[in-house]
Structure 1
């Protein structure tokens, strides 16, 4: 291989690795969703979409994938209605076909960041249940 090929291959390998937490790791955890952005990706040759959200868990901020038909509609609603940041809990709804991921309102989590250090930050309000 050439330097060009080696360099491009290395970047492609690194780009496919993500530090974002898998959605399955958030199940039954309470967290604060600060923001979310819609991203496109290819899985098994098919283009798909997911939200990558900034979540706060145990005062640590990180990114996490949030996808699934119901969960994505809920996040879209949260964004469109100015409800972020929001205290949430991700669950699997065993009563629905496929046990989809569903967001539920949770007790407000402690906020982190410069505003909360100065006493200016406030905990997010719980979110109403969204019918989808």
Structure 2
């Protein structure tokens, strides 16, 4: 699947913002990629689109629990399997969620730095 097809299918956009497509193509070409964009510049699209194209799970490490939960909820609304493991989770719930992640064909695993 081409990046623009993924963007249209899951995000309902017909074009990328400046620099997004270059960043996405770099990731898809397996290049080490450092992307620096301003707040609201569309950084999440830069890893989410390639993750939807590539095999396997995308691991996202973020110290912002509210942002992780928001992104997980947004991805779930789009029909994409995503899960967040945050610092406040009890061990039993963490264990269950990891099993779900391993055996449930999840596409995104969001982790707080201390859970990494």
Using the size of structure 2 for normalisation, the TM-score is 0.23
Using the size of structure 1 for normalisation, the TM-score is 0.21
Structure with a larger share of its residues in strand: 1
Structure with a larger share of its residues in helix: 2
Q: Which entry has the higher C-alpha Rg, 1 or 2? A: 1
